[in-house]
Every structure is written in C-alpha cells, then in structure tokens.
C-alpha cells in the first residue's frame, strides 16, 4: 500500500459532483478491504479489487457539479460517503452528501459519515431505542461506539459504556451514565439486564451476551466482516425466545447525514478525533487502526 498518481475522476454521470478532498477518515472496513477478506471480495472483486483506492468518508470543497445536481454549487463545503476518498479528488453522487455543519472543521466532518450513520441506524432503526430503555455499548470509546453512546443518550436511554481503563473518564464526559472497565470486569457477571447490547467492535458473541438481555432484548453487531465473528450465531440466535440477534451494515444516505449535521450544530453530538495523519503517512494510520485501540476516529489530512 502506498501513494501513486492516478487520473482525476470525472463527473460524466449528471448527478455527481467533483470534490477536492480536504480530509478523509479511516474505518475498520478499509483495512478489511485492503487485506482482501472473502466477504469484501464479493463486493470488490474476487481476484483483484475493482476499486484500488480505499476510503469511504470524505469532507471537502465542491469543484464542479453535474447537470442534474440541484442541492450543491461550486465552492460548497460538504461531507459524506464516497468510495476512494483516500485521494485528492472524488466524484460521489449528490444523494450521499450533505452540507458541512458550520461549527466544525473538515477533519471533524470527515470523522462523521460511516461511524455516526452506523450508530444511528443501529439504535434508531434496528433496535428502535426508546426513552428509559437500558443500552450497553461495548467498545464505547471507538469510532462507532463513541457516536452510539451520544446518540443513545440523545434518544433518552440509560447508557452503560464498556471500554478500557484509560478511556473511562472521557466516555463519562460524552454522557455515559455508567462505565465498566472490560480489563477488570465482565459485564455479563453483574446480572444486570439491558434492552439493547451494541457490540461496536466485534469482540462479543450473541451467546455470551444472551444472559444480559431483557426478555425482548436486542443484540446488535457491526462486524459481519470480522474474521473473528461467526455469522451463524445470528441465524441461530434469531430463534431463541423473544430475544433477537441482528447484524447491521450502514446504508449511507443524505437524510441521515442531515440529521447528524443538525445534532452537531446544536452541540448534541461531537466527533472525537484521536489523531490526524497526513496522507503520506497513510501506512502508519492503517497500522494504528488495525491495532483496534483507537480513541474515537483516525483522520487523514489530504489538503
């Protein structure tokens, strides 16, 4: 993996825009694509990748617009979802983009799309979290986890955050009602029951969480692509009583980006960035993400 010159993308499709990329974040999906795990090959080519440039989050400035684009104009600052964002230019469709919140930087905007939409859709659409419910976020200090913590709080849930010792204080600052240090205790031993358990890092199985779910509790994992995860648990788990096991994969769209943008502008949601790497240090950035020990998000600074 490295940097090379490629042809600038075009906007032949009339609903696309050309973006000069300022920042792009790195997600776990990026290194899974890079390593060529089998489930990712089904999407990106069995023998060789269809898309050789990684990246799915982008924040930048619009340089050109297609004829049918109606929401944006040249010079607009936007953020959203786009394959190949670890580059200087991308040409996404307009329905995967949103105007940037006015109160954040390009780096912060690039940290939002995939991770925050994943957390939002898991809690709002899959779990249908309601006010007063008890939600446990496993991996609450990570990219998806720190957004899920804030969103569960926004929806009125009682939030228990599970993370490592060094991150306990700042997940409290993000709004966790209770915190658990996974290096010192296992939440399944405390006999507490949760309406929703969101495993944001792919470290827990449905069966290990089963005793900690309420009668109608929902377990959600975001890591079908993880080589450590066995998807057949979800199939079996769906037949156990009234408790449910769900896999959730993000569905990028401008409606959810707009909702998240509004929360950011109202200061009810904020992205946490552990570190920004310049694009030429992308190898180092990938190594850091692959360690699985990130605090919030890792961002590439392109411009």
pLDDT, mean of each 10-residue run, the chain (303 residues): 70 89 88 56 53 86 94 97 93 96 97 96 96 97 96 98 95 96 94 95 87 93 57 56 75 96 97 95 86 87 90
Non-local CB neighbours of 251 within 8 Å, separated by 6+ positions? 117, 121
Angle ∠(65,86,289) on CA atoms, nearest 5: 145
User: For residue 133, what pLDDT is reported?
Assistant: 98
Distance CA 303, CA 111 (A): 15
Non-local CB neighbours of 171 within 8 Å, separated by 6+ positions? 140, 141, 146, 149, 161, 163, 179
Distance CA 74, CA 77 (A): 9
User: For residue 1, what pLDDT is reported?
Assistant: 56
CATH of 115-247 given 3.30.750.24, 3.30.360.10, 3.40.50.720, 3.40.50.300: 3.40.50.720
Q: What are the sequence ranges of the domains in the chain?
A: 17-112+271-301, 115-247
User: For residue 27, what pLDDT is reported?
Assistant: 86
User: For residue 41, what pLDDT is reported?
Assistant: 44
Non-local CB neighbours of 191 within 8 Å, separated by 6+ positions? none
Q: What token pair was written down for 43?
A: 């999407």
User: For residue 238, what pLDDT is reported?
Assistant: 55
For domain 17-112+271-301, say whether CATH 3.90.180.10 is its number.
yes
Distance CA 299, CA 295 (A): 12
Number of H helices, E strands in the chain: 10, 13
């Amino acid at each position: 993996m490295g940097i090379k010159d490629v042809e600038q993308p075009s906007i032949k499709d009339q609903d696309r825009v050309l973006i000069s990329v300022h920042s792009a974040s790195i997600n776990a999906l990026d290194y899974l694509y890079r390593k060529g795990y089998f489930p990712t090959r089904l999407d990106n080519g069995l023998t060789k990748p269809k898309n050789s440039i990684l990246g799915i989050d982008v924040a930048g400035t619009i340089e050109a617009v297609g004829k049918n684009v109606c929401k944006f104009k040249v010079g607009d600052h936007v953020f959203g979802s786009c394959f190949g964002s670890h580059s200087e230019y991308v040409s996404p469709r307009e329905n995967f983009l949103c105007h940037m919140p006015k109160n954040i930087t390009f780096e912060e905007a690039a940290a939002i799309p995939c991770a925050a939409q994943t957390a939002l859709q898991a809690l709002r659409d899959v779990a249908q979290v309601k006010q007063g419910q008890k939600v446990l976020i496993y991996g609450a200090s990570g990219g998806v986890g720190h957004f899920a913590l804030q969103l569960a709080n926004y929806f009125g849930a009682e939030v228990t955050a599970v993370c490592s010792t060094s991150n306990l204080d700042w997940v409290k600052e993000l709004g966790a009602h209770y915190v658990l240090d996974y290096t010192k205790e296992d939440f399944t031993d405390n006999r507490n029951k949760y309406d929703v358990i969101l495993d944001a890092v792919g470290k827990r199985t449905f069966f290990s969480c089963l005793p900690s779910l309420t009668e109608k509790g929902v377990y959600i994992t975001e890591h079908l692509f993880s080589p450590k995860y066995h998807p057949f648990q979800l199939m079996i788990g769906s037949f156990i009583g009234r408790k449910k096991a769900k896999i959730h994969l993000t569905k990028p769209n401008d409606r959810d980006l707009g909702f998240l943008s509004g929360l950011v502008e109202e200061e009810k949601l904020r992205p946490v960035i552990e570190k920004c790497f310049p694009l030429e240090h992308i190898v180092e950035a990938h190594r850091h993400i692959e360690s699985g020990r990130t605090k919030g998000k890792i961002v590439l600074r392109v411009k």
